[in-house]
Amino acid sequence: MVKTVLDKGWLAARSTEVEINGVQLTTTQPPTQPLNSPWMEASVPGTVLGTLLKNKLIPDPFYGLENEAIIDIADSGREHYTFWFFTTFECKLSNNQHVDLNFRAINYSAEVYLNGHKEVLPKGMFRRHSIDITDILHPDGQNLLAVLVYPPDHPGRIPPKGGQGGDHEIGKDVAAQYVEGWDWMTPIRDRNTGIWDEVSITVTGPVKLVDPHLASSFFDGYKRVYLHSTVELVNRNALVAECSLNIQVSTELEDGTFLVEHLETQHVSISAGANIHYTFPQLYLYKPNLWWPNGMGKQHLYNVEITVNVKGYGESDTWSHHFGFRKIESHIDSATGGRLFKVNGQPIFIRGGNWILSDGLLRLSKERYKTDIRFHADMNFNMMRCWGGGLAERPEFYYYCDLYGLLVWQEFWITGDCDGRGDPVSNPDGPLDHDLFLLCARDTIKLLRNHPSLALWVGGNEQVPPPDINAALKNDLQLHPYYMNLNNNGTSTITPLIKDPSQYLDGTRVYVQGSMWDGFADGKGEFTDGPYEIQNPEDFFKHDYYQYGFNPEVGNVGMPVAATIRATMPPEGWQIPLFKKLSNGYIEEVPNPIWTYHKYIPYSKPEKVHDQILSYGKPNDLDDFCLKAQLVNYVQYRALLEGYTSQMWSKYTGVLIWKTQNPWTGLRGQFYDHLLDQTAGFYGCRSAAEPIHVQLNLATYSVEVVNTTSEELSNVAIETSVWDLEGECPYYKTSEKLTVPPKKTISTFEMKYPKSKNPKPVYFLLLKLYDVSDNRIYSRNFYWLHLTGGDYKLLEQFRERRPPLKITSLTFIKGSSYEMRMHIQNTSKKPDSNAPLYRNNFIRRNGSFDESDSSESFDLLDGEKHEISLYEKIRRNFSRGHNKAKVSEVNGTGKGVAFFLHFSVHASKEENKKGEEDTRILPIHYSNNYFSLVPGEVMTVTISFEVPPGVTPRVTLHGWNHHDVHTVL
């Protein structure tokens, strides 16, 4: 198969401004060049709103209050957002070739015109369309294509108070439901009308392959595995096709070559014009490399290629897909009542997040998906939930989840707000066309089912589908016997009496009817997810914080950095909230109207939680407010995850945070903003979700060790040190040797400093879990704490106590790619100690991306020893580039903790000639950020990024008590 993606050269025009029809557009009167009104350059894939924004015909709906200036489809009528899209492509066929025009998704229906021929594409946002255009291609190979795209049938109206899903009319269609607005999202004015996913043409011979299905089954303790595969074959000839059908399984070696592990050839005869389903004999593999979720092992992927050769023609079609051998099971745990997941027989404690989509205007791309998914893996998450009001995510999303080890919970397009409740009360029977819903669901299953990251299907968000749809999905997604819990690691043998798994629509994954049913929340559909606002950090650890075993949604704050506010709002949006004192002594935050429009969630909860930003002192301006918000973000999300893992398996089986990011410039529930800059909450999660982690139980002050891996942790100990604001260490303790069983959280000893004589009202706590034999560190965790009933206001004075730093950097440059190795040392005089833990020599985690294996070392500029594996990896990747080294000294005014240090990367000042406020280069991948160093301590941070053409990057360091900008590159 030869595939050509049609993603360039598109034009668009509003249908009411085009006076000719589709036949004329694609024969005698195509749009002329240069562009003439009403035609404009179009974004395909994309939406109408994306095209209008590209041509600056509307203001940026994500900036300030500009979305209010864009006419809503409810006021304009559907015709206003009904658009023509036009392009040309070249395709000339040889004998017995066939070509299809493919639309992977359109919202919501369309008329397609090609060289004067018309084809109507039926409704539904989540379905593929394929048109055989062999007989209507132009003889000279030059083809004219026009597509008239219609918005959803029921775009709805936005009530004055907004709300969850507007007036819920969009729920009558099979479409994304967030587009009428939510408590985290403003309405999308065109309801995402457009050719929003890939358009392509594919050329094959007389027989083509359609929707192969791959499945694997395991026996004898995962030593014996079988690959099952079924494919649909379509013979488009008027003659019988004698075919040679091949399946090949190969694996990529480290040097980029592929090793063929299996090659099977079968002969099949297909009648003229027939469609058949062919099932290969199962392929046997012994001890294959398994695919594991993030934190449990490596994500081994094989390449499976299926080819059909036709006698007298040759190769007719080919299909390939990466594939991971793994088995995913889940059941309701009897001990906790929560749903418990197993991968390859190993229980996995779920720590992940809820996902809406990358971008509210559906400006989707492989590059954006790669960053999104890598960010989630960098936070040590192992699952993403694709929320039912958003998308059936695209194959590119799943590819990167496969690559980075993120399990995916995929919901269908049902939400309680738009399907049976709300104000006004929504239609209780789901979409109007149930057959259309099921058609889209089945097509989505076929599109995504071969991805190893896909863990389960869920009927809907906080609601189940209507009874007939739910029954059909349960039937379509019933488990094959090989994937039922009873068939674990026994010695069963494959029998031909059981239907081949690849002949099922899926059959390998559990279907759960709703996000609060069957092991999630209370399991019965009551509203028992949440809460969604600021919390007292210690409350997360209390047994009564959350009653049920698996929380599918628990939310919190998510204020971005000040630079993002300035980049996404006019100056009137830079005003920080007013702090209104109530009669009960609590503070109510009153945000400015732009923050309110962008769904700001406050850092106080009157009558329960005192304002957490004010606990650091009243902020002076936007920069001060956002910096203090980052402190709170870090504390809140670290405590949230640590509280759940503190009771791993005894009370909980998993938790998913609402939500990980925003598909627009929102101000709540995010670990990185829409511009791709990370909040400190990102690094709070990264710390708390380590596979092996040492933590402080904030409710009991006991020090705990979390081991989520499948291996026992032995010969380890914990170093505990307390540091005051003067840089002294009044409390130091090392534990006895510990053994931590696999999949277990243990409590070790109480951290008694607060009960000691004359404890300081504000202090720092540093915990390190290390290997006693070589002092390598498994986990490092740094806290700032205050005594009961106190606050952090003393940290305001601490800002002037600036400790000296030494920063050694090694930078590798290849074209526009930069990799930096930063070696940061707090050169304050440390207390007398021979302990080598100051060097923070970390143990590499199996399957992680940190690549900090310290089995060998090299001298990095200043004589310190560092790990060779990452160095060698960078050196190989950048061998044809160049590198530079630099040592920066930051003089200090006193000794003490270097608190809350964070890097950022900017375009150099010389290149910011226009004086734009936002000079950041984004995205950036940091191995660590928002970190603190005690006197004498060393931290190594790696940074990787791409720079725009012609831009020289400038890397800067800031900190709570390093508030001046220090340039380190």
Amino acid, res. 415:
T
DSSP state letter for 798? H
Looking at the annotation, which residues are catalytic? 462, 553
What gap in Å lies between CA 498 and CA 39, rounded to an integer? 58
Q: What angle do CA 361, 363, 369 make, to 5 degrees?
A: 125
Sign of CA dihedral 690, 512, 410, 637: negative
- The answer to whether residues 838 and 826 touch, using CB atoms and an 8 Å cutoff, is no
Of all helices (H) and strands (E), which one includes residue 888?
strand 882-890
Distance between CA 338 and CA 520 in Å, rounded?
6
Q: What distance in Å separates the CA atoms of residue 555 and residue 535, rounded to the nearest whole number?
A: 10
Token pair of 213, please? 């299905």
* Amino acid sitting at position 264: E
CB 447 within 8 A of CB 395: yes
Do the Cβ atoms of 164 and 182 come closer than 8 Å? yes
Distance between CA atoms of 50 and 44, rounded to whole angstroms? Answer: 9
Distance CA 388, CA 509 (A): 18
Farthest CA pair distance, the chain:
94
Residue 948: CB atoms within 10 A of its CB come to: 10
* Local structure of 393: helix, strand or coil: coil
How far apart CA 119 and CA 146 sit, in angstroms, is 11
Rounded to a whole number of angstroms, the CA Rg of the chain reads 29
d(Cα 504, Cα 510) in Å, to the nearest integer? 13
Do 705 and 693 touch, CB atoms closer than 8 A? yes
DSSP annotation string for 782-793 = EEEEE-TT--ST
| The total number of residues written for the chain in this structure | 969
What is the H or E stretch that residue 646 is in?
helix 622-646
Contact 348, 293 (CB under 8 A): yes
Give buried/exposed letters for 923-947 (b at 16+ CB in 10 A, else e): bbebbbbbbbbbbbbbbbbbbbbeb
How is residue 558 written in tokens?
């998510």
Q: In whole angstroms, give the CA distance from residue 955 to residue 969.
A: 5
3-class DSSP state of 379: coil
**One-letter amino acid for residue 88 of the chain:** T
Rounded (10°) CA dihedral 134, 139, 144, 146: -30
Contact of 352 with 407, CB cutoff 8 Å: yes
Sequence-ordered list of residues with C-beta below 8 angstroms from that of 578, at least 6 positions apart, any chain? 589, 590
CB-CB contact of 449 with 440 (8 Å): no
Cα distance between residue 798 and residue 737, in whole Å: 36
685 vs 665: CA distance, rounded Å = 21
Q: Is the dihedral of CA 325, 741, 377, 410 positive or negative?
A: positive
Q: How far apart are CA 92 and CA 962, in angstroms?
A: 65
DSSP state of 831: P
Place of tokens 């704490």: 785
- Both ends of the chain: CA-CA distance in Å? 48
Is 788 within 8 Å of 741 (Cβ atoms)? Answer: no
